[in-house]
Amino acid sequence: MLKLDPTLLAKNKTAEICSVYIAPDEIEKSLAANANSLKQVARNIHQYGPDRLLLVGSGASWCSTFTGYHFLRANTALPVSHWFGPELTSDPPKQLGTGRPVAILSSYSGKTADTVAAAHFLKQRGIPTVAISRDEQGTLAQVCDHHVCYHSKCLYTSAMANLLALLAEWLELRGETKPAGTLRQELQAMPGRMRAVLESSEKAALAAAERFTNEEMIYCLGDGATWALAYQFGYTHLMEYTKIHSAVLRSCEWRHGPLETLFRSPAILMFVGNDASRAGALATRKYCERHRGRVVVFDSEAFFSTHPSLAPFALHAVAQFFLLFLNTAKGIDSEAYKQMHVHPYLEGETYY
């Protein structure tokens, strides 16, 4: 039976990263408050007559924009690309000098150095920019031509929901009414669906945390729509908050070199969605379980069905509960940073 110190558990529930209990309410509140501004920003984007879209972010904000990227790529003919801030500025594509691109940049704080630098970089090249951030006070909202602020600590789900709502408004203006209607319908239903699976998500997460409490290395696997969620969980959750080693891999790539680690009976956490990557992910699960891998699977279909691109919403609660229980079982205060927010990554940076 997993032992959780009640005092530490209560503290970790109030950590900034823990949004499991409020995410559905925050989505509803944020989208309602932003209804008019989302329409206006969509009109502004449409007036530029863009021929492609750039989605830019770093860390968890890169992950939140991936859902919009996945939806557009799979459901529209609009050319769209997805960039890390430093990747865009250090190795800019030649296509930036042609056509009429528009860029949407995401940063929770609005101060993420890499993303702010990317905004300046794009503006210097005459590319219209839209900021998605927590509030208007951050540098990103002030630098960009337009902004959408979700006024929520839910840096993943609220950011995703506002981006998708913005895309729905813009797709409608482009005459792509079917994907626009799909997004609106899914977003309207999402809070209720998320509330309905809190209990089952908590139960699944508790069992998973009990299996992996003593691990100091966990492989995180995902593919398709869940790829960025796996990336976020490994790079920012397990390493940043749980402070253990993690390697993030695509489920479809496990069949290559990583197979040779199975003799060590590794801990493997899989995020599985309901898009075309599902069959390959389940094959990876079966193989790993058959060959000594200790596998925990968080399957979006075990919680609720949604549009394939939106599977990360179905997995949000179980992922959040798992982090909460794992950290508490390990005796870790989720807000006790040792490096981030303590030591500047680069000299002169005020946010890192």
* pLDDT tens profile 177-206: 999 999 999 999 999 999 999 999 999 999
- Residue 348 has what pLDDT? 74
What is the edge-to-edge ordering of all strands in the sheet holding 129-133? 80-84, 52-57, 101-107, 129-133, 146-149
- Residue 236 has what pLDDT? 87
Considering the domain architecture, whether residues 153 and 202 belong to the same structural domain is answered as: no
Q: Where a domain ends, among 176, 191, 206? A: 191
Query: Nearest 5°: CA angle at 322, between 320 and 278?
Result: 85
CB proximity list for 305: less than 8 A, separation 6 or greater: 274, 314
What is the edge-to-edge ordering of all strands in the sheet holding 267-272? 245-250, 217-222, 267-272, 294-299
pTM of the entire predicted model: 0.95
Q: Where a domain ends, among 144, 172, 191? A: 191
Considering the domain architecture, whether residues 29 and 171 belong to the same structural domain is answered as: yes
d(CA 202, CA 123): 44
Whether 352 is covered by a domain: the verdict is no
Domain hosting 305: range is 6-16+197-329
Q: How does pLDDT run across 134-172, given as a tens digit for each residue? A: 999 999 999 999 999 999 999 999 999 999 999 999 999
- Residue 41 has what pLDDT? 98
Considering the domain architecture, whether residues 201 and 311 belong to the same structural domain is answered as: yes
d(CA 148, CA 329): 37
Considering the domain architecture, whether residues 170 and 203 belong to the same structural domain is answered as: no
Whether 207 is covered by a domain: the verdict is yes
Considering the domain architecture, whether residues 151 and 216 belong to the same structural domain is answered as: no
Whether 165 is covered by a domain: the verdict is yes
d(CA 306, CA 56): 25
CATH number of the structural domain spanning residue 314: 3.40.50.10490
Whether 122 is covered by a domain: the verdict is yes
Whether 1 is covered by a domain: the verdict is no
Q: Where a domain ends, among 168, 191, 214? A: 191
Stretches where the chain sits below pLDDT 70 are 350-352
Considering the domain architecture, whether residues 54 and 110 belong to the same structural domain is answered as: yes
Considering the domain architecture, whether residues 182 and 274 belong to the same structural domain is answered as: no
Considering the domain architecture, whether residues 315 and 215 belong to the same structural domain is answered as: yes
Considering the domain architecture, whether residues 201 and 168 belong to the same structural domain is answered as: no
Whether 237 is covered by a domain: the verdict is yes
Whether 342 is covered by a domain: the verdict is no
Q: How many structural domains are present in the chain?
A: 2
Considering the domain architecture, whether residues 150 and 133 belong to the same structural domain is answered as: yes
Considering the domain architecture, whether residues 44 and 142 belong to the same structural domain is answered as: yes
Whether 344 is covered by a domain: the verdict is no
Considering the domain architecture, whether residues 211 and 177 belong to the same structural domain is answered as: no
- Residue 92 has what pLDDT? 87
Q: How many CA atoms lie within 13 Å of 246's alpha carbon, on the beta-carbon side?
A: 23
- Residue 96 has what pLDDT? 87
